[in-house]
Structure 1
Amino acid sequence: MFNIKTVLGISLAAASFNAFAEKQTIDFMFPSPVEGKFTQEMTKVIKHFNESQQDVEVRGIFTGDYDTTKMKAEAAVRAGQAPALVIMSANYTVDLAINDMISPMDELFKYSEDKVSANDFLEKNFWQPMHKNAQYNGVTYAIPFHNSTPIMYYNKKLFQEAGIKEAPKTWAELVDAAKKLTNTEKGQWGIMMPSTNNDYGGWILSALVHANGGQFNNPDYAGEVYYNSPTAKGALQFYKDLVFKHKVMPSGVLNSKQITAGFLSNKVGIVLLSTGSLGFMKENAKDVDFDVAFLPKKVRNAVIIGGASLVTFKGISEEQKKAAYKFLTYLVSPEVNGSWSRFSGYFSPRKASYDTPEMKEYIASYPPAKTALDQLQYAHPWYAMYETVPVRQAMENALAQVVSDEKKSVEDAANEAQKKADELMKPYQDKTALSVE
């Protein structure tokens, strides 16, 4: 929970600059991507910031999920009302930079008292796996705010009843455990994983592709995805087999709310979800004794970075840039960012958060909060490409087909997804393929 005594005691010296002629109001858009009281908590954070100083008034605007937040921010820019700061899905940075919608972070950091560059601030203060999704062509366009990896939640009581002694570490062990946990008479499923087209399905699927030894996309080129590669088809097949071959997961598209509800009612033994759900799970698991573990591997341990970063859109005034810098450095200060991590379940991307007494005590008292952080040694960047949302949804639609229709072949679904993605990325592919006259 947000600690007002801690936050109001934070020195804002690092964010200080010449006094404003008058209080500057800025718009701050923020999503609520997973279950929980995120909106109420962020409202508190904004209120505490506004009360802690006299120069800036932040107007918080709740914008729904990640995809909706992107659409609303872009619409505000087109209407001449660009938000000064937005918590944006970390994998949209590249797309927004390509389309010239956001400014390099140096537009804000030029107002830092010590004149530190955004690149230096990012690279010195944040975990290395977050850097790739914050930059485009070596330029920092985003500052990480909260981050995640997918983790495995498992019901300890159901494990004990099924005679399972430890969390599965491989896909084969996962299937075996899920079979033992499935009980049709009780309406109990062995496993559930998201398969929606609102980013959750693609995120989990991409993690499985990497765990299968492959890549979901080219991390260095925004016009290339590998949807019909052997490793991607293997991940799709794994999803499909859980439903139709092993019969340990219900057919049809599953969203995170369904999955969470099933887990919290002792009707699902294993779920793969974001560590960002940990706060909600911890608060609501009244009758569920659960623990968390690494994502199981096929060929290798691998996870995908998730979460969100702070970006600034083009079209704001210099006064708004100064105000946005002050609020940004407040949000990612070790104390505030650590407090948000403890509330939400996301891990803090700011390394110094884990040096604070509050975070040390929290990690010591609640070890599951460290699982996602421990997985960073196996982390890969989140998929980020030209037209990220529709390109991602091309593969998510393929996923929805194979978990809903037993007759739909993985081969056809993957090839169709690849064809659609290539059509969407063609303008970028053509542009980058042009020769120089």
Structure 2
Amino acid sequence: MKKHMKQVMIMGLAGALAVGLVGCGSASSSTTATADSTTNASSKTGKPIEVTFWHGMSGQLGDVLKNMVDEFNKTHPDIHVNAIYQGSYSGKGPLQQKLLAAIASGKVPDIVQLEIHSIPVFAASGALQSLDSYMAQSTDHKKSDFIQGLLKSTSYKGQTYGVPFNRSVPVFYYNDKMFKAAGITEAPKTWDDVAKDAKLLTKKENGKTTVYGFEPVNQWWFFESLVWSGGGQLMNQGLTQATFDTPAAEAGMKAWQQMKKDGVLTVQTGPKDWDQTIADFTHGRAAMYVGSAGDMGQIEQSGMDFKASYVPMVKQYAVPTGGANAAILAKAPEAEKQAAWKFIEWFTAKEQTIHWSQKTGYMPVMKSAVDSQQMKDYFKQKPNHQVPVEELQYAQEAPLSPAYLQVTQYIQDAMDKIMVENANVDATLKDAVKKSNAAISQN
């Protein structure tokens, strides 16, 4: 998960997909493909198979991705991947809006970088190719070869529709120099600890706060962690009702709001709130913040002395997984599907996923990578990078409902009211649950 979480799925996406996919078939009736070799696929024309890959990586992340795609093309003369940046891959971002239009027109890309919470929406409408047959026939990309925590949010109704691509968990970051100066000897384990430490770390000059003790990214991905950490749930087991307004679910949000009232917490607003939060942290305007594992490369570029730790808990450690999966479109031609799978296998293979992780901070997605001596040595050199991998033991799965992205919109609206407008937590979350249940009932 990276930077664009506040832009969530527009209302009615599932309806738009249903209209655009009339005649395409249901998820269960999608064409069953095989992972046959593409070695001879280009021999009919003598030209490499052209694979169109839509992605949402820009800046430093986009540069790393481009270099890796170039390397694939150099080493695979029978396939040429055209990586095209289409804007943010988030639910309300340009990439998914363009994908909706492409699906409606029938002219789809072959691969798309799809935000993990969008998998149920697109899969339920038949837009995505089931990847189970590919995985079953692969020598090193079977389900058992992936880090199991990252397989969460890759499937829908028992079928796999995505391969972990740029995947992350929330991570708690803190300024080590500020901690030492304040006499704090260890990372906070609970939100009560964060509140206590934030008071020691907050600095004021001439009545103005120059350093806030804590500055969270105020986005719904972190709300998931807060709810589970308190022992609450986002939806009921049958996925028919939202349940994030119980006392257990509200506890974390109340802890954040109280810190703001105490003057030790601030939040950024607007479309660049995530970037601004990172900037505040790297420039010493915030001593602690909660962000993504995918922030780590950017923080390291600043040269600051920082440490990473588990996201604090209310009662128990709990984190969502985030980021995006690589998905193949059901309407893509068969040869392009096979070539697309070959690229996905290459990108997520041991050497490439290690390179991707070290350059960006995202997770290495294969067990072989995490267990390799190369990665073990890297973790010893840079222990911050091991934190998100260890944190996967506490990963939970967001509700696998096509309606859930609409629910996150109401959660985000509620968080903005609570943390920006100082609205009452109980009343605001109950109103968000009421709106969510109305949306769920229409799916």
Give the aligned residue type for 2:151: H
Aligned residues of 1:223 and 1:386 also touching (Cα < 8 A): no
Give 1:397's match in structure 2, choosing from 403, 413, 417. 413
> How does the TM-score come out when normalised to structure 1?
0.85
Q: Does 1:253 align with 2:279?
A: no
RMSD (Å), alpha carbons: 2.2
- Correspondence for 1:115: 137
Q: Does 1:133 align with 2:153?
A: yes
Q: What SS does the aligned partner of 1:27 have?
A: strand
- Correspondence for 1:238: 255
Deviation, 1:71, is 2.2
Give the aligned residue type for 1:77: I
- Correspondence for 2:173: 153
- Matches of 1:104 and 1:224, distance apart in 2: 28
Map residues 267-282 of structure 1 onto 2, 5 A cutoff.
267-282=285-300
Give 1:59's match in structure 2, choosing from 61, 68, 82. 82
Q: Does 1:19 align with 2:35?
A: no
Give 1:301's match in structure 2, choosing from 317, 322, 328. 317
Aligned residues of 2:235 and 2:399 also touching (Cα < 8 A): yes
Deviation, 1:167, is 0.9
Give 2:56's match in structure 1, choosing from 24, 27, 31. 31
Give the aligned residue type for 2:52: D
Q: What SS does the aligned partner of 1:57 have?
A: strand
Q: What SS does the aligned partner of 2:213 have?
A: strand
- Correspondence for 2:441: 426
* Distance change >3 Å, CA 252–CA 403, structure 1 → 2: farther
- Matches of 2:115 and 2:235, distance apart in 1: 17
Aligned residues of 2:111 and 2:326 also touching (Cα < 8 A): yes
Q: Does 1:178 align with 2:178?
A: no
Deviation, 1:297, is 1.2
- Correspondence for 1:411: 426
Deviations 1:67-118 (A, max 9, x none): 22322222222222211111211222112111222121146x2xx8x8349x
The number of aligned residues is: 397
Deviations 1:323-365 (A, max 9, x none): 1111111111111111101111011121111244432332221
Q: Which has the higher helix share?
A: 1
Deviation, 1:223, is 4.2
Return 65-74 or 412-421, whichever deviates more: 65-74
- Correspondence for 2:106: 80
Give the aligned residue type for 1:299: K
Deviations 1:139-195 (A, max 9, x none): 111111132111111001111222211111111111000011111225110001112
Give the aligned residue type for 1:303: V
Q: Which aligned segments of 4 or more residues in structure 1 are displaced greater than 6 angstroms? A: none
Return 261-270 or 412-421, whichever deviates more: 412-421
* Distance change >3 Å, CA 84–CA 224, structure 1 → 2: farther
Aligned residues of 1:335 and 1:356 also touching (Cα < 8 A): no
* Distance change >3 Å, CA 320–CA 341, structure 1 → 2: same
> How does the TM-score come out when normalised to structure 2?
0.84
Q: What SS does the aligned partner of 1:190 have?
A: coil
Q: What SS does the aligned partner of 2:401 have?
A: coil
* Distance change >3 Å, CA 426–CA 334, structure 1 → 2: same
Q: Percent identity?
A: 26
Q: Does 1:225 align with 2:242?
A: yes
Q: Does 1:96 align with 2:122?
A: yes
- Matches of 1:252 and 1:295, distance apart in 2: 19
- Matches of 1:28 and 1:250, distance apart in 2: 38
Give 1:193's match in structure 2, choosing from 200, 207, 216. 216
- Matches of 2:129 and 2:259, distance apart in 1: 44
* Distance change >3 Å, CA 383–CA 243, structure 1 → 2: farther
Give the aligned residue type for 1:225: A
Deviation, 1:44, is 1.0
Give the aligned residue type for 1:32: M
Deviation, 1:393, is 1.1
* Distance change >3 Å, CA 17–CA 66, structure 1 → 2: closer
- Matches of 1:121 and 1:427, distance apart in 2: 37
Deviations 1:41-60 (A, max 9, x none): 11111111111122111111
Aligned residues of 2:110 and 2:337 also touching (Cα < 8 A): yes
* Distance change >3 Å, CA 224–CA 55, structure 1 → 2: farther
Which residues of structure 1 form unaligned runs of 5+? 1-13, 196-200, 429-437
Aligned residues of 1:191 and 1:268 also touching (Cα < 8 A): yes
